[in-house]
Chain A
């Protein structure tokens, strides 16, 4: 095989991935460009009476068909990014009077059609990626809050006045301090994916190192979240245990706290 044949294979394979669907008022061009959450971008073309062409996302971004739905009002950074993209790609938006769905669109003509399709595709791709990343961030925070709430409820019941939440040592805040015959500083660990999960452990490790020597250390880690992937997380937990002498207890084993703590 000559090496330039590879180019022809790739070109044919990728061009064959383009497809279309017909609607009463438009054609959907399903492109080969995809978003971080694995959706292929579609661009809709509508032909106006004066033969002008309109390119649009078909309301799919706002309707949530690419995943999470944007919330402009509450997300300052996202709002900033989306406005930047709207300006950069010279895209307009219009709200449907009955459904309230926002359509992003731009005018084009036959001469500019393919070039503008490419721009519109990149616009939709960038918008969806920005929304998705923002959404992931929020999921991480939400996950932390929920897990902390669950653990706190459990510990309050179990230890009552012997547990203090949001305890500060050397100006560093920990999730809790437990006063048994020994004093334990305690952090809770969770995450919506392995990366966030391990970052969370790393943050805890730094905090424990900063107060080294003064307290016994304990983490309760969430082994029921999808972010907990043992092969990826085990080395981090081992590091806590062996290097920093932190006791680690998984949430499924919470009943064993009594055996572990004195």
Chain B
């Protein structure tokens, strides 16, 4: 079951136009809020086609190198992520692809094709520079900036992410999957 969107299939030209056209983020500031699983925030993005688009950004509480970014257009496509980035997590299987494009490891982007089916891919920059994937998973500011490139969003200034999570220096540096959890049974 691949993710499908009928509304994108029917409006595919407009969908492509929205993604390819230049958009502006006027604040460039993510001021993170938190819930049980994530730190998250969203900013609004506009252009002449659509004045109500949002970029959603969230970082896993458990594992800093897991963060997601996506663009949505509330008025036209509802909550569907039009283009999204995943820094970590399982590789994606592309339906109907040959074996070379079948398995797309993270970090990766997702978009929809003309049949309204979501697929995963690596950006040109990620393909050209094999070390860039590692840079993206270590540095979410770089990740947001790369997402802006890929989604054609221009930011009038520097992208900033602020929040309480940065009090914990350890959080910035950890590359642990188990977070110190011990599995040994106590004797």
Interface residues on A, range: 35 or more
Q: Is the interface of B mostly helix, strand, loop or mixed?
A: loop
> A19–B108 Cα gap in the complex (Å)?
15
Give chain B residues whose Cβ lies under 8 Å from the Cβ of A205. Answer: none
> A58–B6 Cα gap in the complex (Å)?
34
Q: Which of B62, B94, B116, B175 has the most CB of A within 10 A?
A: B62
Please judge, given known A-B contacts A39-B92, A42-B90, A105-B183, whether A226 and B178 are in contact too, CB under 8 Å: no
Q: Is the CB of A99 within 8 A of B5?
A: no
Q: Is the CB of A99 within 8 A of B61?
A: yes
B163 interfacial by beta-carbon distance below 8 Å: no
Q: Is the CB of B179 within 8 A of A99?
A: yes
Of chain A, the residue at the smallest CB distance from B4 is: A226
> A40–B90 Cα gap in the complex (Å)?
6
Q: Is the CB of A48 within 8 A of B103?
A: no
Q: Is the CB of B103 within 8 A of A64?
A: no
A140 interfacial by beta-carbon distance below 8 Å: no
Q: Is the CB of B116 within 8 A of A60?
A: no
Q: Is the CB of B6 within 8 A of A227?
A: yes
Please judge, given known A-B contacts A19-B105, A48-B184, A226-B6, whether A56 and B37 are in contact too, CB under 8 Å: no
> A42–B103 Cα gap in the complex (Å)?
12
Give chain A residues whose Cβ lies under 8 Å from the Cβ of B90. Answer: 30, 39-42, 60, 65-66
Q: Is the CB of A23 within 8 A of B175?
A: yes
Q: Which of B1, B61, B175 interacts with A132 by CB under 8 Å?
A: B1
A24 interfacial by beta-carbon distance below 8 Å: yes
Q: Is the CB of A38 within 8 A of B175?
A: no
Give chain A residues whose Cβ lies under 8 Å from the Cβ of B105. Answer: 19, 21, 30
A152 interfacial by beta-carbon distance below 8 Å: no
6 contacts between A and B (CB under 8 A): A17-B102, A24-B176, A25-B180, A46-B178, A59-B178, A63-B63
